[in-house]
A and B are shown apart, each in its own frame.
Chain A
Amino acid sequence: MTPEVTVARSLDEALAALARDGAAAHVLAGGTDLMVELRTGRTRPERVVDVWKVGELRGVREENEGLRLGALSTCAELLRDSRVASHAPLLVAACREVGAEQIQARATLGGNLGTASPAADLNPALVALGARVRLRSRRGAREVAVDEFLCGYRKTLRERDELIESVLVPTRPAHERQLWRKVGTRRAQSISKLTVAVALAFEGACVSAVRAAAGSVGPRTLRLATLERELVGRPLSPALCRSAAAACARADITPIDDVRSTALYRRHAFARVLATLLAEPDGVPACPPS
């Protein structure tokens, strides 16, 4: 009943434990998800690898291609890091609305990605930022776009011997606006009813590139293809904001009724929030242009 636990002190130890034969191990980071799962018996792993003390998974580094964030970066660390603030204000805004302080101190970037809940708040932000996740195993390392990595309801492309090592947020374009909005069941300590994250690059008055993603409105973190298509190459007029948001809400999301909200609400609130977010970025908890 009690799982076998490996408390890894280094990346090598963690990877060795993951590479062992037998039942696949569950990775334990900040515990905000797995500790509850274990307690309620919803998850009964045979093996757990605790990576919390693996120093190689911590820290934020500037690289040529962008900002590299260790998988064990907590929400609290991310939202106090000035480099993250200037590079990815969208991610900071998302971190600020995860749980409350106690959860922010423990919830990690890697945990959000690994759990791959459709309601995980950091994942839409990472998708909108075009982030890539680096997976490491004893076989080597590889990088996968977060968008592809989150491949289904609580499903990822992580192989059983792989560990999420870090995330690369690519260098930002010169003129960009990053937008974020979470709608939860209350004003803090809430699981989202919907989240939306948008990164807009501009050339002159026209949108030159868009990446957008949403959470809690489908079985996984969703990329908003219709929205991206509608906006590219056009100036952000109020009419376009409204029509693109509505088209996106019709085509890009597949919300359901659950204990937190309804499909009808999610679709309509999503369209309304998104339209406002695009049209009046200063009037909502969005991020200032970097």
Chain B
Amino acid sequence: MARVVGSRLARPDGPGKVAGTTRYVADLHFAGEWVGGTVRANVARGLLEAIERDAAFDFTRVVVVGPQDVPGANVIEMLTLDQPALASREIEHFGEPLLLVAAPDEATLQAALAALRPRITPLEPVFDPRASTKVFKEIRIEKGDVESALAGATRTFEGEYESASQEQLYIEPQGVIALPPDENGVVTVHGSLQCPYYVQKTLVRALGLPAEKVRVVQEATGGGFGGKEDYPSILATHAALLARKAGRPVRMIYDRHEDLAFTPKRHPSRVRIRSGVDGEGRLLALDIDVLFDGGAYTTLSPVVLSRGCIHAAGPYRCEHVRIHGRAVATNHVPYGAFRGFGAPQTCFAIERHMDHIAAELGLHPFELRRRNALRLGDRTATGQLLKESVGAQAVLERIAQRTHIDTHPWRAPKTTRKRRGLGMSFFFHGAGFTGAGETMLHARIALELDAEGRALVRSASTEFGQGTETLFKAIAAEALGCEPDDVLVAQPDTHAVPNSGPTVASRTCMIVGGVLARAGRELAARIGGNGPFRERARAFVRSGGDSRVEATYQTPAGLEWDDKAYRGDAYPAYGWAADVAEVEVDLDTFDVRVVRFWSAVDCGTAIQPQLVVGQFEGGSLQAVGFAQLEVVTTRDGRFQQDRMATCIIPTALDAPDFTTDLVEVPFSGGPFGAKGVGEMPMDGGAPAVLAAIEDALGLHVTRIPATPEHLLELWLAAHPEERL
């Protein structure tokens, strides 16, 4: 009988956050610290000829770092090595870093930056991904015989779907403070980040140091959403280069403008779908083409594309599937990780396509989804056999009970000026790294007892709002049989915690939490006995027992993945969910107000239901914004929304009332039956909102964000008599 799983623990990070005493990186100061800044390219593509120095500025007051000052390799190591830490000749995107400057104060820094003027010969940039000739990654998934199935289908359909970029807009901008080498030659970076070991890997390469000489410490982090998965590696490298040369701590805390203008956002996408169905609306074939704009460098595009492609066929059974995906280079600022990681784009496409099929067949969208939903024993697009924990039908039933979406007269004609509409989406999301990722990563954690008999969890999994610390306290306490207050969670610090992997990919609960649960059970067995945990643990420590357990991820038996053919078990388990959105569209302004939003969610056992709901509501609001409110556009390779005044996200008045129902279908491979939930809400919001807009207006919209401007244009095309 679970004692802690399913309970509602107080967040250990809560009291400091509500009191304002929690220290974020901008709140920290180190003796003798200077501030760092970046000289950037002012064109999207070109050749750097020189950087002229204004003779009026006294450069002895500052420290300048150029490519020649990089002691290791001048690269940012992520998936590949194509991105320089500082560009020396070829400029591939607007704002590309060229030089770094450290100065004693902000005014001197700004004066120095203004006195360094890059001279660049512009070259013709490529902004249209369809015109790109450079492919970062190509993926082909093949199942069955798509062409024959299409030829034999009762009806076939085609659609093209586009999504624009999206800004993570964590409220705390990117920031790090780098310290120069200490007496042992160890370089330390404190930062707002999701993945301490990613940052360490990049620093090792650029600084030419062994891993033990590079220490990365995660400070309290004010939101990430993927935006602090990759970019902190760049910022940390810059700050560390400056600290090394200046011989003093250097802080680089971006202001909002620099953060918005130059850090990665969601990949813009174009997805084409051809489908064939039988007389009952059952999917016979899906032919899907996915194109992502990767921006100027590889960064994480190959794995974003991978997740996007694997989810592209949606949570639907279909015997004949072909998915062809490409992530290509352009001269945009590199795109990167954002919650959902490629899946929101493809999920949007397939869900809109399902609504299209439903409308064409005269079949209710709910019924179409119910008929085609994956079931236990089915195989996914990659051929993965679904052996357990498939909540597909359960979430559909629950959302229908809650909202009666199944009987809602979708697209019924309406006459009022403010039009209400309801729409749904149905989606799944794989938890953990794709394919063999977890096996290769080999996540490690440590669990140890202190002299007081308290258990300390050591992992690199970071807290940035999701509730990682609370979750780990709950899992450890349940596994150890102790009180949650007997568990402490160590600050992620590469010198103090083993590498449990990055905090991404909906993997913290299911993967790292699973390792932790195993470690907890092992430690509990070692301690043994009965009675209060603390007493037993103290006695065990005093008796000299081995009070530290290290545990590593073990691939569940039977999981197989062929990375060449893109076939097999793409993820250990999937979360399943259905959303319904209710909108009100004002026919004068085409403003879309999302009034209410319901979700039915299977993420396995909810270790901490309050955290799950927090993740789902927060993620859903980001998805609601992605659908219709949040606009990111570029001009000559520059993001046009480079201030918070123009980069719009929902306020409390723009947010709907949320209702989130948990439908728990446990997974035997997860801790106490848990799966993952972090990214999933990002997948379903946009198609649900667009379906609701379609219900309200009768317009089949295939592009997001569906701004009032876009809706008006579509409306006028459908009602030319209303054109002025």
Contact = CB atoms under 8 A, between A and B. Distances in A.
Contacts of B722: 268
A262 B711 CA distance: 12
Contacts of B257: 40
Interface string B588-601: 11110100000000
B49 interface: no
A276 B587 CA distance: 10
A256 to B, nearest CB: 13
B646 A188 contact: no
Contacts of A188: 651-654
B650 interface: yes
Interface in B638-671: 640-641, 645-646, 648, 650-654
A185 B648 contact: yes
A268 B633 CA distance: 22
Contacts of B525: none
A153 interface: no
A246 B417 contact: no
Contact of A268 (B641, B653, B716): B716
Interface string A250-275: 10000000011110110111011101
A186 B646 contact: no
Contacts of A259: 633, 640-641, 646
B712 A264 contact: yes
Given A188-B651, A269-B712, A276 B724 contact: no
A139 interface: no
A246 B722 CA distance: 10
Contact of A187 (B417, B641, B653, B709): B653
A253 to B, nearest CB: 11
Given A267-B724, A272-B587, A276-B588, A187 B708 contact: no
B708 A246 contact: no
A145 interface: no
B654 A186 contact: yes
A207 B712 CA distance: 31
B709 A261 contact: yes
A183 interface: yes
A123 B585 CA distance: 28
Contacts, number: 65
A100 interface: yes
B712 A268 contact: yes
Most buried by B among A1, A246, A272: A272
A281 to B, nearest CB: 14
Contacts of B653: 186-188
Given A186-B654, A188-B651, A259-B641, A273 B588 contact: yes
Given A265-B709, A268-B716, A260 B650 contact: no
A249 interface: yes
Nearest to B716: A268
Given A187-B654, A264-B713, A269 B590 contact: yes
Contacts of B587: 272
Contacts of A189: 651
B648 to A, nearest CB: 5
A188 B651 CA distance: 7
A1 B105 CA distance: 15
A216 to B, nearest CB: 13
A171 interface: no
Contact of A276 (B417, B593, B712, B716): B417
B391 to A, nearest CB: 34
A250 B709 contact: no
A260 B640 CA distance: 10
A260 B713 CA distance: 16
Nearest to A183: B589
Interface in B78-127: 107
Contacts of A269: 588-590, 708, 712
Nearest to B587: A272
B64 interface: no
B333 interface: no
A190 interface: yes
Interface in A219-255: 246, 249-250
Given A261-B709, A268-B716, A269-B712, A186 B648 contact: yes
Contacts of A144: none
A54 interface: no
A216 B653 CA distance: 22
B629 interface: yes
A191 interface: yes
Interface string A45-67: 00000000000000000000000
B588 A190 contact: no
Nearest to A185: B648
A264 B709 CA distance: 8
B632 to A, nearest CB: 11
Given A188-B651, A276-B417, A183 B591 contact: yes
Interface string B705-724: 00011001100100000111
A143 to B, nearest CB: 33
Contacts of A262: 709
B107 A1 contact: yes
Contacts of B713: 264-265
Contacts of A260: 646
B593 A187 contact: yes
A190 B629 CA distance: 12
A285 to B, nearest CB: 11
B103 to A, nearest CB: 15
Nearest to A191: B645
B224 to A, nearest CB: 23
B475 to A, nearest CB: 39
A250 B724 CA distance: 8
Contacts of B724: 246, 249-250, 267-268, 271
Contacts of B588: 269, 272-273, 275-276
Most buried by A among B645, B653, B713, B724: B724
Contacts of B645: 191
B111 to A, nearest CB: 9
B629 A186 contact: yes
Interface string A86-103: 000000000000001000
Contacts of B723: 268
Contact of A190 (B590, B640, B648, B712): B648
Nearest to A280: B417
Contacts of B712: 264-265, 268-269
Contacts of A1: 107
Nearest to B111: A1
Nearest to B655: A187
A249 B723 CA distance: 12
Interface string A25-41: 00000000000000010
Contacts of A275: 588
Interface in B675-724: 708-709, 712-713, 716, 722-724
Contacts of B648: 185-186, 190
A268 B257 CA distance: 32
Nearest to B642: A259
A40 B648 CA distance: 19
A51 B163 CA distance: 48
A259 B417 CA distance: 27
A159 to B, nearest CB: 30
A59 to B, nearest CB: 31
B567 to A, nearest CB: 45
Most buried by A among B257, B645, B713, B723: B645
11 contacts: A183-B589, A185-B629, A186-B648, A186-B651, A187-B651, A188-B652, A190-B648, A249-B724, A268-B712, A271-B724, A273-B589
Given A186-B629, A268-B716, 13 more contacts: A100-B651, A183-B589, A187-B653, A188-B651, A188-B652, A259-B641, A261-B708, A262-B709, A265-B713, A268-B723, A269-B588, A272-B587, A273-B589
Interface of A: 1, 40, 100, 183, 185-191, 246, 249-250, 259-262, 264-265, 267-269, 271-273, 275-276, 283
4 closest residue pairs by CB, A with B:
A272-B588, A187-B653, A265-B709, A188-B653
